[in-house]
Structure formats: C-alpha cells, structure tokens
C-alpha cells in the first residue's frame, strides 16, 4: 500500500516548504513524516526516520526532544518502520523495538492499561488515538491497538459521537470537556490511517465504523463557509481550517481504500477547497489553532502536514 512518488503543484510545494522550515516536536515531526510518506518523498522519509532514532531518548521514545509527551513518539513509528524495511538497517529496527518496549512496559498507564498522554499527570487526550493506534498496528500489536482505542473511547467519547479533549484518571472526570475540533480530527484521521495497516485487517470494519461516526458528528456542525469552529459545537470559539483538512484526509482515504462509498469523494474535496482558500503565498495554512498552545489562531506544523495528506489522499481517489 506504499504510494509511488507524485508531483506536487505550486501551492503544495509552498505548503511543504513552509512545513519543513518550521520547528517541530515529536508528534509534529511524525505527522510531517506521514505527509512525506504519502507524497512518495522517500528522500525526506530516509532523513526523518534516521533523525527520529538519533533523537530517541533513553526510555525509547522516538524523536522526543522536549520530554513532555508520553505517546506522541508513536507518530514516528511508520516512517522508521518503512525505512528499516527498505534498508535493512539494524539501528532502525532496534529503535522500533525500544519504542515498542516503551509502549508495552515503560509508559505510565491506568489500571486497565490505557496509556497516559502527557508527562506530569495522569490524563488521556484525544490526540493519542492518532499517535498510538496506527503505530501499534504497524508494530504488530493489533490487540494492544484496539485496547488503546477502547480505553480512550470509553473516557472521551460523548453521547453525540464527538470526543472531549482530555480526561483526568485520578478524578475520573473530564478536565477539558470541550469538543475540540483538532482533537476530533486526530481521532478520525488516526482511524483512517490505522485501517491501512496490514495487522488491522481483522478490525477494519470497526475502525471504519468509528471513523465515520466521528466524521458525521463533526459535519453536523460545519459552517456555511465550509470550515468549523475550534470547539466544534461552540459558535463563540474561533473559526479554523485544520479540522476540515483532517476530515478531508479521513474521508478521501476512506474512499480510496473502499470503506466509504464513492459519493463521499465530493465531501472530501469540498472540505479541501474550504481549507485551501486560506493558504497564502507563503505556504502557510490559515486560520488554524496555532502552536505552541493551540488556544488561539495561528499556524502549525500539523495543519501544514494535513493539507498535504488530504491532497495525497485526493490523488489516490483519482487513481482508483
């Protein structure tokens, strides 16, 4: 299922250039590797995979340069695995083994085994679905992947299908009950990416069902301009474009992989068009929830990457 190299148009080239110029933490580097993989940029994948292992910490977390995340490192697994398979390099294979050991034994977790997201607390975040589930399938641990999905879903999914942002395990309560747009995008995109893993084959029906559930729950709150509010169901929160891109990626990936009907392709393309209207000559995607705190409009590496991921998914639909 690995893509062949594809040409990028001028806008995509500018978006990629801006992405590569940005300072990135582990999950941002991870989603950038996913864009490189899906664009067929083996030259970028080779360097980024190598650097993920160079910057792997003593605990086994790939590219964990600031020490603030427990599971964001999982976003690097796919690129390292692809490059290890291509080259046969023992150091990359060893890096993957150490990363898996961190997930299986080292990472702090709840009594039921659900992994915590940040250091310095015992919280589950929606972001973890993207960081963990595809990575664990790629590492050959499908039961663990589905267990992590179940643990996060049980704590964070609301009755209407949208996910809250953060759960605190010691108090058994949501500490960020808002239905954050990017958080729901992480879930939809993570499940769509996980579906493509060979080890996910027995679970694909459930992954597709849950991905579509999140997509449809978000679409109920889409604005007339095609974008979303930062908190999906709070019209007083600021307007941003990255959820549209993340949903476009999930939908177009679903069409390309056959778990969504072809009629969904236009939905994905319309989401892409809405987000694309905000891309400037500098290649920056705006408006999006901006780094480093994602609590106001700005720019982010993940938004840059999802512009490219959605574009690559769109091409896969066209080639099907």
97/212 Cα distance (integer angstroms): 32
Q: Which CATH class is domain 10-319?
A: mainly alpha
Task: Report the chain's terminal Cα–Cα distance, integer Å.
Answer: 12
This prediction has a pTM of 0.96
User: 69: left (phi > 0), else alpha (psi -120 to 50), else beta?
Assistant: beta
Q: % helix / strand / coil in the chain, to the nearest 5?
A: 55, 10, 35
pLDDT band at 9; cut points 50, 70, 90: confident
> Does 4 score more than 70 pLDDT?
no
Report domain extents, the chain. Answer: 10-319
Average pLDDT over residues 27-41: 98
Residue 215 phi, psi dihedral angles, 5° rounding: -60, -50
> Helix, strand or coil for residue 113?
coil
> Does 255 score more than 90 pLDDT?
yes
Whether residue 53 contacts residue 80, with contact meaning beta carbons closer than 8 Å, is answered with yes
In 228-265, which positions are buried (b, 16+ CB within 10 angstroms) versus exposed (e)?
A: bbbbbbeeebebbbbbbbbbbbbbbbbbbbebbeeebb
Average pLDDT over residues 72-87: 98
144/40 Cα distance (integer angstroms): 29
C-alpha dihedral (19, 194, 256, 231), degrees to nearest 10: -60
101/1 Cα distance (integer angstroms): 26
Closest to 127 (Cα-Cα) out of 116, 141, 138: 116
Q: What is the pLDDT of residues 276-319, one digit of tens each?
A: 999 999 999 999 999 999 999 999 999 999 999 999 999 999 88
Average pLDDT over residues 162-189: 98
Give the per-residue SS3 of 134-195. HHHHHCCCHHHHHHHHHHHHHHHECCCCCECCEEECCCCEEEECCCEHHHHHHHHHHHHHHH
> Does 41 score more than 80 pLDDT?
yes
How much is the pLDDT for 7? 47
Average pLDDT over residues 54-78: 96
Q: What is the pLDDT of residues 191-238, one digit of tens each?
A: 999 999 999 999 999 999 999 999 999 999 999 999 999 999 999 999
Q: Residue 173 class from Cβ within 10 Å (0-12 exposed, 13-18 middle, 19+ buried)?
A: exposed
**Tokens 């427990």 — which residue?**
70
């Amino acid at each position: 299922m690995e893509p062949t190299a594809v040409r990028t148009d001028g806008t995509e080239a500018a978006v990629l250039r801006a992405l590569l110029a940005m300072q990135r933490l582990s999950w941002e580097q991870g989603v950038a590797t996913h864009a490189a993989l899906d664009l067929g940029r083996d030259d970028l994948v080779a360097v980024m995979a190598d650097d993920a292992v160079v910057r792997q910490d003593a605990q086994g977390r790939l590219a964990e340069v600031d020490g603030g995340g427990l599971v964001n490192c999982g976003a690097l697994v796919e690129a390292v695995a692809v490059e290890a398979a291509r080259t046969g390099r023992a150091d990359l294979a060893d890096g993957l083994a150490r990363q898996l050991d961190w997930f299986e034994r080292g990472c702090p977790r709840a009594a039921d085994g659900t992994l915590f997201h940040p250091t310095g607390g015992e919280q589950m975040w929606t972001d973890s679905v993207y960081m963990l589930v595809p990575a664990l399938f790629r590492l050959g641990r499908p039961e663990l992947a589905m267990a992590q999905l179940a643990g996060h879903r049980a704590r964070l999914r609301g009755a209407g299908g949208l996910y809250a942002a953060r759960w605190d395990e010691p108090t058994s309560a949501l500490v960020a009950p808002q239905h954050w747009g990017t958080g729901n995008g992480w879930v939809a995109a993570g499940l769509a990416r996980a579906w493509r893993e060979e080890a996910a084959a027995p679970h694909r029906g459930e992954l597709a069902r849950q991905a579509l559930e999140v997509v449809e729950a978000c679409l109920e709150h889409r604005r007339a301009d095609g974008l979303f509010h930062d908190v999906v169901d709070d019209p007083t929160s600021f307007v941003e474009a990255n959820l549209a891109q993340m949903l476009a990626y999930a939908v177009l990936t679903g069409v390309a992989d056959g778990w969504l009907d072809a009629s969904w392709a236009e939905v994905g393309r319309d989401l892409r068009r809405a987000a694309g209207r905000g891309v400037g000559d500098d290649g920056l995607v705006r408006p999006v929830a901006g780094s480093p705190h994602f609590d106001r409009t700005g720019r982010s590496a993940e938004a840059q990457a999802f512009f490219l991921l959605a574009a690559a998914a769109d091409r896969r639909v066209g080639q099907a």
